[in-house]
Amino acid sequence: MTKQIPQPWGTPLKEEALQKHNVLTVDYKPKVKYAWASGIAIGRFLNGLKDGQIIGTRCDNCGRVVVPPRIFCEWCFKPTESWVKLPDTGTVNTFSISYITADTTRIKTPIIPAVIQIDETTNAGLLHLIENSKPDAVKIGMKVKAAWLPASERKGSITDIKHFAPVR
Ligand SMILES: [Zn+2]
């Protein structure tokens, strides 16, 4: 008798189909190189990270300051042409204690992804990881500071910030 793997909807997969490779598996690892333009706002943001600087934009109409920067204000739909250098400190707006990685690998030591509102911004945050803290010590409202890669290792990527750590 063929064992059926329970599925919440649709046609169940059969063990036999998996053994005969009659279904698509995820073993294929394509060697594909690609590139895309990051755009005006994110390009400037990424260049700032390479220099160890968090760059945002301020709407001159309503005063909203956002990071990552945008070229228009989502509140009043005006162009935002004022670039601002922001501190690398902020406040934890929300977080999760995760025992799986982004590729769903189970891990014993959890990662703590968090949305961090960078100081001097208005209702906008960066998604990043919190480290140097026990999971049960992380709280909404906790003050954190960016931990940067050494300047020689930065590439103009969000990972130029290794993580955020509690301000002690
Ligand atoms: Zn505005």
The DSSP code sequence of 10-70 is SSPEEHHHHHTT-S--S------------HHHHHHHHHHHHTT-EEEEE-TTT--EESS--
- Cβ atoms of 12 and 4 within 8 Å: the answer is yes
CATH number of 62's domain: 2.40.50.140
Domain that holds residue 137: 40-166
Contacts of 84 (CB under 8 A, 6+ apart): 55, 56, 57, 58, 65, 120
The total of structural domains in the chain comes to 1
Q: How far is the CA of 63 from the centre of ligand 1 (A)?
A: 6
How much is the pLDDT for 32? Answer: 87
Q: Return the minimum-mean-pLDDT range out of 26-35, 57-66, 80-89, 96-105.
A: 26-35
The pLDDT, as a whole number, for residue 9 is 60
- Residue 10 within any structural domain of the chain: no
| 7 within some domain | no
The DSSP output letter for 81 is -
- The verdict on residue 79 lying in a domain is yes
Residue 93 is predicted with a pLDDT of 96
Percent of the chain at pLDDT exceeding 70: 90
C-alpha distance from residue 147 to each of 14, 31, 48, 60, 75 (Å)? 48, 32, 15, 31, 31
What pLDDT is attached to residue 75? Answer: 93
Distance from Cα 50 to the centre of ligand 1, integer Å = 28
30-39, 78-87, 150-159, range with the lowest pLDDT: 30-39
Ligand 1: centre distance to CA 72 (Å): 8
Statement: residue 151 has pLDDT above 70: yes
Under a CB-based contact definition with an 8 Å cutoff, are residues 26 and 18 in contact?
A: no
Let me know if residue 3 belongs to a domain.
no
Is residue 45 assigned to a domain?
Answer: yes
The angle formed by the CA atoms of residues 156, 44 and 159, to the nearest 5 degrees, is: 25
- Residue 57 CA to ligand 1 center (angstroms) comes to 10
Residue 7 pLDDT exceeds 60: no
Residue 22 lies in a domain: no
* Average pLDDT, integer, range 38-54: 96
In-domain check, residue 75 = yes
The tens digit of pLDDT for each residue in 133-143 reads 899 999 999 99
| Centre of ligand 1 from the C-alpha of residue 73, in Å | 5
In a domain, 44, yes or no: yes
Task: Tell me what the mean pLDDT of segment 113-125 comes to.
Answer: 93
Instruction: Assess whether pLDDT exceeds 80 at residue 147.
Output: yes
Query: What's the gap in Å between 79 CA and the centre of ligand 1?
Result: 8
